[in-house]
Structure 1
Amino acid sequence: MIKKMIHKDIEKIEGRVFERIAARGIVIKDSRILLLYTKRYNDYSFPGGGVDTEEDIITGLKRELKEETGAKNIEVMDGFGYIDEYRPHYKEECDMIHMVSYFYICQIDDELDSVNLEDYEIANGMVPVWVDINEAIKHNKKVISSKEESMGLSIERETLALELVAKELMNH
């Protein structure tokens, strides 16, 4: 486990909890990393997302990477760790969401295909980008420190994982 995170608005872990397993890809080429920039939240995040009930985690990871970035010939090399988090949930029938995000080191072809984003991802201005990891970390930390009104709930998890990836994988 990389870290257990409990959002500041969660007083007690009880009540109606929506459980979600997510898979997120770490794709590095030279000094850059493949991330998603989301205009609505002004942040960088790892490609990936919720694993559907009928799929295993690796199948879900490959599907999400292909949909969000256009990645081709995805090869999952190794697990990197997971972040366990509790945070407020937007669905009225739940008091909170418990999401466990598993991070995997992946290799893909250099050339990306077209993306197949969901309507809300398009509306949020989500685009795949190759970016210097230190620039992405610096950008996200600036958004966090200035507490931008548009700031999303996942930026702290994503920035924590980016810092760990930079420390452990980028100089090898």
Structure 2
Amino acid sequence: MKLLKSTIHPEIENLETVSKFTRKATRAITLKGENILLLYTDRYHDYSLPGGGLDEGEDLISGMIRELKEETGAKNISNVEAFGLYEEFRPWYKEDFDVVHMLSYCFTCTVDDELGSTKLEHYEVSNGMKPVWINIHEAISHNEKTIAESDKKGMSIERETYLLRLIRSTFL
């Protein structure tokens, strides 16, 4: 899969001197014209692509399909194609490691317009996460405003906004 971007969080001064572990995740890109299926998270006031970490022994496409179904209730997922890899090194806030090497494998796919029931995890519900079909231009503008003005934004918003801009320039 082609590398879309590689980033190192500004708090990380030297990757050679820190303990790190790798986390593999997937992200689903589902477009209907200029509308895109995203997750809105109230806690961080942002839009993000559906997806998440792979389970032990799970392949990339199966993981993407599972996460997309769980987080959005998407039905009839088909036409799955690789889009690219976003790599990042971010601080880790647990005692076992200093840095997480996050690999986000992004795939395009199609789904039915109507979504079914979600199976969100407890923390996703607590964070106010919900699936939405939204105009991609509106989602990008919203995230850009959150980046500029909000102190409650999460570390993933830069990745998500970069990917949304790339999706817009590639497909629209």
Assess same fold via TM > 0.5.
yes
Query: Among residues 68, 82, 88, which one is paired with 1:65 in the alignment?
Result: 68
Deviation at 1:133, TM superposition (A): 0.3
* Displaced runs of 4 or more, over 2 A: none
Out of 37, 40, 43, the residue aligned to residue 37 of structure 1 is: 40
Aligned to 2:130: 127
TM-score, normalising length from structure 1?
0.95
Aligned residue number for residue 158 of structure 1: 160
Look up the equivalent residue of 1:6 and give its one-letter code.
I
1:94-105 equivalences in 2 (<5 Å): 94-105=97-108
What is the rounded CA distance, in whole Å, between the counterparts of 2:35 and 2:139 in structure 1?
Answer: 10
The answer to whether the 8 A contact 1:44-1:140 is kept is yes
Answer whether contact 1:76 1:104 (CA < 8 A) is retained.
no
What is the one-letter code of the residue matched to 2:130?
Answer: V
CA displacement at 1:96 relative to structure 2: 0.9
What's the secondary structure of 1:65's corresponding residue? helix
How many residues align structurally? 169
Cα gap change, 1:110 to 1:58, in 2 (>3 Å): same
Query: 1 CA distance for matches of 2:65 and 2:94?
Result: 27
State the 1:149 CA deviation. 1.6
Name the structure 1 match of 2:27.
Answer: 24
Deviation at 1:107, TM superposition (A): 0.6
Q: Deviations over 1:59-112 (max 9, x none)?
A: 100000000000011114311111110001122211011001011001112211
Match of 1:53 in 2: 56
1:30 shift after superposition: 1.9
In structure 2, the gaps of 5 or more residues are none
* 2:70 match: secondary structure: helix
Matched residue of 1:163: which SS?
helix
Distance 1:142 1:43 in 2: 9
Partner residue in 2 for 1:12: 14
Question: Alignment RMSD, CA only?
Answer: 0.9
C-alpha contact (below 8 Å) 1:79/1:105 kept by paired residues: yes
